[in-house]
Amino acid sequence: DHDKKTNQITIVTEDDMRLKAIEDAIISRMIKQGLDAKSLDFGKEQYASGNMIRKEISIKEGIDKEAAKKIVAKIKASGLKVQASMMDDQVRVQSKNIDDLQAVISLCKKEDFGQPLQYINMRN
């Protein structure tokens, strides 16, 4: 069951094998569509009434504050002439030199911040 308001997927099944199979199917479907599986946050298994097992999967949107702070700190520590700032669920990087922006992108691709990153709107 997918709740679009809270961005959560709820799996309810009879046993661990089916639960794992459904999780694998969700992950493989995401990979086929070009999405990163790191954007899913798997909750703990909850044993409901009878033999039923329930699991909540949250879909992450944007960058959480801790990851944004790590990204901004890493960019500032790199010594590149760019301005990095946090805006809502995004990290905004500004520079007059497009080569510096590309260096920031490659720097962020090398690091693992625990969630997928997307790079948009690089203007000349």
Integer Cα distance of 109 and 77 in angstroms: 16
Q: Kindly report, residue by residue over 80-119, the tens digit of the pLDDT.
A: 888 888 888 888 888 888 888 889 888 888 888 877 888 8
Instruction: Pick the more confident residue, 3 or 12.
Output: 12
User: How is domain 65-110 classified at the architecture level of CATH?
Assistant: 2-Layer Sandwich (3.30)
Instruction: Pick the more confident residue, 24 or 90.
Output: 24
Integer Cα distance of 124 and 84 in angstroms: 18
Check: CB of residue 73 under 8 Å from CB of residue 86.
no
Beta strands in the chain (DSSP E): 2-3, 8-13, 40-47, 53-59, 83-87, 90-94
